[in-house]
């Protein structure tokens, strides 16, 4: 249960602090995460016999994430907080209890497993902003000192009338303007990535593995023209693979967490 509480705290904290700019961003995220861990941890600690040290460890991990990872396009997010968070979630999912008495939210409605419901809610929230930050950190490390998102000059042969000669053929380099650079930046990835991960989790939970394979294949077909057009650098294919594999891996870990909460693992 503490794994779902930690993931929910980090996910909600990231969503909230995304609306905040400046130095207040990590403070707001930390306050939100602390409130969720404290309220949920106190509520589930006694019936589940969760040791206070587990709740304290969750607070430490959430604090490390909020303080180390900034939601800013100009700042590269580090990868080590993501590794710490994933390891902490794995340990908490395996070593702490999940079971709880099923409850009925509305009288007469079907009973709900609190651990499973909390895990599903945490996954839905964390696969948005938090997963985007993890994927961006992985892509930044993969790019190294040669980012592929920068502007590259366009080289072409042109014919123009010269002063001394009637016709001159020469090679010209033109840098793309700001409008072209802005249009080429894939801002839609912030939305496409979360939707893709959430769809993979939903299909996995209903047992539609065939549709997941079709979805992954369709993504490769859609991005193929862009990848094949990048003949000069050859980095689009690597960037696509690294970003996609990271995103799919996070979706797979989310499915594993839900399965662990349901007792399937």
205 lies in some domain: yes
Answer whether residue 159 is part of any domain: no
How many separate domains does the chain show? Answer: 1
SS3 per-residue string spanning the chain: CHHHHHHHHHHHHHHHHCCCCCCHHHHHHHHHHHHHHHHHHHHHHHHHCCCHHHHHHHHHHHHHHHHHCCCCCCCCCCCHHHHHHHHHHHHHHHHCCCCCCCECCCCCCCCECHHHHHHHHHHHHHCCHHHHHHHHHHHHHHHCCCCCCCCCCEEEEEEECCCCCCCEEEEEEECCCHHHHHHHCCCCHHHHHHHHHHHHHHHHHCCCHHHHHHHHHHHHHHHHHHHHHCCCCCCHHHHHHHHHHHHHHHHHHHHHHHHHHHCCC
Is residue 179, in this structure, part of any structural domain at all?
A: no
Per-residue pLDDT reduced to its tens digit, 105-114: 445 556 667 7
Domain annotation covers residue 162: no
Query: Which span out of 20-24, 25-29, 85-89, 243-247 was modeled with the highest average pLDDT?
Result: 85-89
> Residue range 215-234: average pLDDT?
71
The answer to whether position 177 is within a domain reads no
Q: What is the residue range of 199's domain? A: 2-101+109-144+188-262
pLDDT at residue 112, as a whole number: 65
Q: What is the pLDDT of residues 184-197, one digit of tens each?
A: 444 556 788 888 89
Q: What pLDDT does 80 receive? A: 92
Please report whether residue 258 resides in a domain: yes
If one compares 154 and 261, the residue with the highest pLDDT of the two is: 261
The whole-number pLDDT of residue 95 equals 84
Does residue 150 fall inside a structural domain?
A: no
Evaluate whether residue 19 is within a structural domain. Answer: yes
For the cut 70, the answer to whether the pLDDT of residue 183 exceeds it is no
Q: Ranked by mean pLDDT, which of 11-20, 48-57, 236-245 comes out on top? A: 11-20
């Amino acid at each position: 249960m503490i794994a779902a509480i930690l993931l929910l705290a980090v996910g909600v904290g990231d969503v909230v602090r995304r609306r905040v700019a400046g130095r207040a961003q990590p403070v707001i995220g930390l306050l939100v995460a602390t409130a969720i861990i404290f309220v949920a941890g106190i509520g589930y600690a006694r019936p589940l016999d969760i040791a206070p040290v587990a709740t304290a460890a969750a607070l430490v991990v959430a604090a490390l994430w909020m303080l180390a990872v900034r939601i800013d396009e100009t700042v590269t997010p580090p990868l080590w907080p993501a590794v710490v968070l994933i390891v902490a979630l794995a340990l908490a999912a395996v070593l702490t209890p999940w079971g709880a008495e099923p409850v009925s939210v509305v009288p007469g409605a079907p009973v709900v497993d609190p651990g499973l419901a909390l895990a599903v809610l945490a996954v839905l929230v964390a696969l948005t902003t938090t997963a985007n930050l993890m994927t961006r950190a992985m892509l930044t490390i993969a790019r190294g000192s040669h980012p592929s998102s920068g502007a590259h000059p366009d080289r072409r042969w042109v014919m123009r009338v010269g002063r001394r000669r009637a016709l001159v053929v020469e090679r010209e380099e033109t840098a793309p303007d700001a409008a072209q650079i802005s249009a080429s930046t894939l801002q839609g990835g912030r939305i496409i990535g979360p939707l893709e991960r959430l769809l993979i989790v939903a299909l996995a939970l209903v047992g539609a593995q065939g549709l997941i394979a079709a979805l992954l294949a369709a993504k490769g077909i859609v991005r193929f023209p862009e990848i094949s057009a990048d003949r000069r650098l050859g980095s689009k294919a690597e960037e696509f693979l690294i970003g996609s594999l990271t995103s799919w891996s996070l979706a797979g870990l989310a499915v594993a967490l839900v399965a662990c909460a349901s007792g399937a693992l």
